[in-house]
Amino acid sequence: MSKEEIIKASFCGSIDNFSLDVKFSMPLEGITALFGPSGCGKTTILRCLAGLHNLPGYLSIGNEVWQNEKKFIKTHERSVGYIFQEESLFSHLSVRKNLDYGACRAKTHHLKETFHFDDVVEILSIKHLLDRSTVSLSGGERQRIAIGRAILAQPKFLLMDEPLSALDQKSKKGIFFCFKKLQEEFKLPILYVSHDIDEITKLADNMIALDNGKKIAEGSTADVLAQLNLNASLDARIISHDFDKKITWVELEGHTLSIPLQGNTIGTLLKINFQSY
Amino acid sequence: MKLLIFIFILLFLTPTLNAKELRVAVATNFMEAAKEISKAFAKETGHTAYLSFGSTGQLYTQISQHAPFEVFLAADQARPKKTIKKGLAIQGSRFTYASGKIVLFSLTQTLINPKGTLKKENFTKIAIANPITAPYGIAAVEVMKNLKIYKYLKSKIVYGNNIAQTYQFVHTENAELGFIALSQIIKKSSGSHWVVPKELYSSIYQDAVLLKSGVNNPAAHEFLEFLKGPEARNIITQYGYGSSSDEKI
Amino acid sequence: MLEYANLWSPIRLTLELAGITTIILLLIGTPIAWWLSRSNSKWKDIIAVIVTLPLVLPPTVIGFYLLIALGPQGPGGWIASIFGGRSLAFTFEGLVIGSVIYSLPFVVQPIRNSFDAIGKRPLEVAATLGASPWNAFWTVAVPLARPGFLTGTILGFTHTIGEFGVVLMIGGNIMGETKVLSIAIYDYVETLYWTPAHILSAGMLLFSFVIIFSMMKIERYFRKTGK
Q: What is the pLDDT of residue B11?
A: 66
What are the pLDDT digits (tens) for C148-161? 999 999 999 999 99
Residue B174 and residue B107 share a domain: yes
CATH 2.60.120 fits A232-274, yes or no: no
Contact at CB, C173 and B158, closer than 8 angstroms = yes
Q: What is the pLDDT of residue C43?
A: 92
Q: Which of C73, C87, C97 is the best substitution to test chain B (most B C-beta atoms within 10 A)?
A: C87
Partners of chain C (3+ Cβ pairs below 8 A): A, B
Please report whether residue B200 resides in a domain: no
Average pLDDT, chain C: 89
Residue B18 and residue B74 share a domain: yes
What is the spatial distance between Cα A151 and Cα A76, in angstroms, rounded to a whole number? Answer: 15
What is the spatial distance between Cα B184 and Cα B167, in angstroms, rounded to a whole number? Answer: 8
Partners of chain A (3+ Cβ pairs below 8 A): C
What is the spatial distance between Cα C170 and Cα C151, in angstroms, rounded to a whole number? Answer: 28
According to DSSP, the residues that pair with B48 across neighbouring strands are: B21
What are the pLDDT digits (tens) for C196-215? 899 999 999 999 899 889 88
Measured between beta carbons, the chain A residues lying within 8 angstroms of C124 are 52, 75, 82, 84
What is the spatial distance between Cα C32 and Cα B206, in angstroms, rounded to a whole number? Answer: 54
Tell whether the model's pLDDT for residue C80 goes beyond 90. Answer: no
According to DSSP, the residues that pair with B71 across neighbouring strands are: B24, B210
Q: What is the pLDDT of residue C1?
A: 44
Residue B88 and residue B23 share a domain: yes
Nearest to A50 among C128, C131, C140 (CB): C128
Average pLDDT, chain A: 84
Instruction: Please identify, in words, the CATH class of the domain defined by A6-227.
Output: alpha beta
Tell me, what DSSP letter sits at residue A131? T
Contact at CB, C131 and A88, closer than 8 angstroms = no
Please report whether residue B145 resides in a domain: yes
CB B65 within 8 A of CB C189: no
Partners of chain B (3+ Cβ pairs below 8 A): C
Q: What is the pLDDT of residue B243?
A: 67
Cα A8 to the center of its chain, rounded Å? 18
More confident of the two residues A70 and B7: A70
Q: What is the pLDDT of residue C5?
A: 63
Q: What is the pLDDT of residue A110?
A: 56
Q: What is the pLDDT of residue A194?
A: 87
Spans of all domains in chain A: 6-227, 232-274
Q: How far is C110 from chain A (nearest CA, A)?
A: 19
C28 touches B at CB < 8 Å: no
Burial of B120 (0-12, 13-18, 19+ CB in 10 A): exposed
**Torsion B168-B173-B179-B181 (CA) sign:** positive
φ, ψ dihedrals at A25, nearest 5°? -140, 150
What is the spatial distance between Cα B243 and Cα B159, in angstroms, rounded to a whole number? Answer: 28
Nearest to B132 among C70, C90, C191 (CB): C191
Number of structural domains (chain B) is: 2
Measured between beta carbons, the chain C residues lying within 8 angstroms of B159 are 172-174
Measured between beta carbons, the chain A residues lying within 8 angstroms of C143 are 92
Q: For residue A70, is it left (φ>0), alpha (ψ between -120 and 50) or beta?
A: alpha
Contact at CB, C189 and B61, closer than 8 angstroms = yes
Torsion of CA C209, C212, C213, C219, to 10 degrees: 180
More confident of the two residues C1 and A42: A42
Residue where a domain terminates, one of B152, B172, B195: B195
What pairing do the DSSP bridges indicate for beta strands A255-260 and A247-252? antiparallel
Domain extent, residue B132, equals 102-195
Q: What is the pLDDT of residue B181?
A: 93
What is the spatial distance between Cα C167 and Cα C88, in angstroms, rounded to a whole number? Answer: 13
Helix/strand/coil for C64: helix
What is the spatial distance between Cα A140 and Cα C33, in angstroms, rounded to a whole number? Answer: 36
Average pLDDT over residues A235-248: 87
Burial of C113 (0-12, 13-18, 19+ CB in 10 A): middle
Residue where a domain terminates, one of B195, B222, B238: B195
Tell whether the model's pLDDT for residue C217 goes beyond 70. Answer: yes
Measured between beta carbons, the chain A residues lying within 8 angstroms of C129 are 76, 101-102, 105, 149-150, 153
**Which positions in chain B have a beta carbon within 8 angstroms of at least one beta carbon in chain C?**
55, 57-58, 61, 64, 124-125, 127, 130, 132-133, 157-161, 165, 168-169, 172-176
What is the spatial distance between Cα C25 and Cα C28, in angstroms, rounded to a whole number? Answer: 5
Tell whether the model's pLDDT for residue C22 goes beyond 60. Answer: yes
Which domains, ranges and CATH numbers included, belong to chain C?
2-37+52-225 (1.10.3720.10)
Tell whether the model's pLDDT for residue A149 goes beyond 80. Answer: yes
C85 touches B at CB < 8 Å: yes
What is the spatial distance between Cα A85 and Cα A160, in angstroms, rounded to a whole number? Answer: 8
CB B163 within 8 A of CB B28: yes
Min mean pLDDT across A108-112, A137-141, B127-131, C172-176 is at A108-112
What is the spatial distance between Cα A260 and Cα A228, in angstroms, rounded to a whole number? Answer: 27
Min mean pLDDT across A127-141, A180-194, C31-45 is at A180-194
Q: What is the ipTM of this complex?
A: 0.80
Residue B58 and residue B33 share a domain: yes
Min mean pLDDT across A36-50, A181-195, C41-55, C126-140 is at A181-195
Residue B113 and residue B90 share a domain: no
What are the pLDDT digits (tens) for B155-210? 899 999 889 999 999 998 899 899 999 999 888 878 888 888 888 999 899 999 99
Q: How far is B47 from chain C (nearest CA, A)?
A: 31
Q: Which of B174, B176, B177, B190 is the best substitution to test chain C (most C C-beta atoms within 10 A)?
A: B174
Tell me, what DSSP letter sits at residue B186? T
Taken as a whole, chain A contains a residue count of 277
Residue B112 and residue B94 share a domain: no
What are the pLDDT digits (tens) for B16-34? 556 788 999 999 999 999 9
Residue B190 and residue B106 share a domain: yes
Tell whether the model's pLDDT for residue B124 goes beyond 90. Answer: no
Please report whether residue B44 resides in a domain: yes
φ, ψ dihedrals at B96, nearest 5°? -85, 120
**Measured between alpha carbons, how far is residue C60 from residues B52, C66, C168 in Å?**
18, 9, 8
Nearest to A92 among C130, C133, C144 (CB): C144
Cα B245 to the center of its chain, rounded Å? 16
What are the pLDDT digits (tens) for A104-125? 888 765 555 578 888 888 888 8
Average pLDDT, chain B: 87
The beta strands (E) that lie in C1-54 are given as none
Residue where a domain terminates, one of B195, B216, B234: B195
Q: What is the pLDDT of residue C227?
A: 46
Strand order through the sheet with B204-210:
B48-54, B21-27, B71-73, B204-210, B95-100, B242-243
> Tell me, what CATH number does B35's domain have?
3.40.190.10
